[in-house]
Amino acid sequence: MKKYSQGSVQKDRGEWKAVISYQEAGTQKRLTKRTGVRCTPKKGDMRGKQSAEKVLRDWRDELIANDAAASPIILSDAPLLEFCYRYAEAKRYLVKDSTYLGYLSETNRLSKTPLAHMPIGDITTEDIRRHESSLAQSGLAGSSLKHHHSFLASVFKEAVINRKIPFSPMASMRSPKARPKPINSLTEGGRDKVLSLLMPRIPDDFSTAVYIALATGMRRGEICALRWTDVNFDHNTISVNYSYSKNGRGGYVLTSPKDPGGSDSKRIIPFGEKTAGVLLARRRKMKEMRGLLSLPWKQSLYVVGNAITEKPYSPDMITRDWRAFVKSNGIYGSQSEYPVFHDLRHTFATLAVRSKAIDIKALAEILGHKDASMTLNVYADALEDAKRSGMEKLDTLMP
């Protein structure tokens, strides 16, 4: 069979063009296909690229499937678990480390079930339904079940492409609907309590990290990756260019920030004078610490990192420090549960929506969402409160 590359999309005469190379009999060849997705000639304008990349992926799957159809099916009696491990390893260097870790997590979840040891060629749609029903009854969250379903569907699809089974037993199945978990953001009073407890500690690394999260909605990994070169005090802006993500080996790797939809969420976030005061105090403290050891100042230092060793504040350490902080101070979120660090991002967004201080499109850009619809879906409850408040104010203007 031909070995196809992952392919890429390029701009060509006002339209995105898909390009795939492949090897056949030791010769490198190239295929192109017009995607039908329009583009602009302006450099750096990536509108339509995601849609074009979906056409590229579908085309590549079609090419592989057509090649596979020409070869005989060799029905496999290997267990499903073995195929899952093979799939994860085959994708290891083609996906983000966090995605690869997700594949291993789903494989581990499967390994504890009877389905794992069934030959892949013997598994039926009913077997999959029983498997997912059992997971749901065991208390697995809807979103986790949805991820598990998608992973298994990809494994079976790969087995079909490689002619190990004639068809996927999951082809006719719909993905389980994931009920969104209620957001456990802090109330306005809860936020004020957190800030009043932390203000005496500013400008240490933990209190600064929490303040940044509440003031900007930045993610944990983005705050840890923030350097002074990314902070512009002339215009009071933060450039979110990097994030720390898990690397699959118990550590973290520096990557570009990504939103849940998979697109790049590099962005510029404006900040006010109070946030500027906190950041300036943090910078002064770090300069003093380095001055005591006669170390020169470096703009490349991490904002919430160690001023002496020049290492970043670990995302895991932030999580541990935050968990200890909320438990010791009895801080609860809107769902009467201890908030996790990511709930500070939700707190920023929820209060922004309810106060109507920022319009939804601007808020989506600040949060790094690919479009405003994602922001509307996540913060629908807060938006309802804002609409009701606005309508009540309008009602007072009626005669």
Instruction: Rounding to the nearest 10 degrees, give the CA dihedral for residues 145, 148, 149, 152.
Output: -160
Locate 103 and state its tokens: 């594949």
Residues 363/353, Cβ–Cβ less than 8 Å? yes
Q: What average pLDDT does the structure give for the chain?
A: 87
Give the helix/strand (H/E) hosting 237.
strand 237-240
pLDDT at 252: 82
CA–CA distance, 349 with 338 (Å, rounded to integer)? 18
* Residue 30: alpha-carbon gap to chain centroid: 33
Residue 179 pLDDT > 70? no
DSSP 8-state secondary structure symbol assigned to residue 230: G
DSSP bridge partners of 302: 227
pLDDT at 392: 64
pLDDT tens per residue, range 248-258: 566 788 888 87
What is the third-level CATH fold of 80-161?
DNA polymerase; domain 1 (1.10.150)
- Domain range annotation of the chain: 3-69, 80-161, 188-393
Residues 83/128, Cβ–Cβ less than 8 Å? no
pLDDT at 162: 81
- Residues in contact with 225: Cβ distance below 8 Å, sequence separation at least 6, in sequence order: 241, 242, 243, 244, 254, 302, 312
Q: In whole angstroms, how large is the CA radius of gyration of the chain?
A: 25
Residue type for position 275: T
Place of tokens 């992952």: 6
How large is the average pLDDT for residues 321-333? 95
Give the helix/strand (H/E) hosting 291.
helix 273-292
Q: Rounded to the nearest 5°, which phi and psi values hold at 245?
A: -125, 155
Q: Characterize the bridge pairing of strands 243-246 and 252-255.
A: antiparallel
Residue type for position 286: M
Place of tokens 């596979």: 68
Q: Rounded to the nearest 5°, which phi and psi values hold at 217?
A: 75, 15
Q: How far is CA 63 from CA 22, 56, 267, 277, in A?
A: 11, 11, 37, 57
- Residues in contact with 111: Cβ distance below 8 Å, sequence separation at least 6, in sequence order: 81
Instruction: Rounding to the nearest 10 degrees, give the CA dihedral for residues 79, 84, 87, 92.
Output: -140
E-strand ranges in 182-316 read 231-232, 237-240, 243-246, 252-255, 267-270
pLDDT at 263: 62
pLDDT at 206: 96
User: Other CB atoms closer than 10 Å to residue 250's CB: what's the count?
Assistant: 7
Place of tokens 């992926």: 57
Give the helix/strand (H/E) hosting 17.
strand 15-24
pLDDT at 68: 67
Locate 191 and state its tokens: 């936020």
Residues 207/198, Cβ–Cβ less than 8 Å? yes
Confidence class of residue 145 from pLDDT cuts 50, 70 and 90?
Answer: very high
Flag the least confident range among 86-95, 268-277, 300-309, 322-331: 86-95
pLDDT tens per residue, range 30-59: 999 999 999 988 887 888 898 899 999 999
Class of domain 188-393: mainly alpha
Q: Characterize the bridge pairing of strands 231-232 and 267-270.
A: unpaired
CA–CA distance, 184 with 140 (Å, rounded to integer)? 19
pLDDT at 194: 95
Q: Higher-confidence residue: 268 or 247?
A: 268
> What is the side-by-side strand order in the sheet with 267-270?
231-232, 237-240, 267-270
Confidence class of residue 235 from pLDDT cuts 50, 70 and 90?
Answer: very high
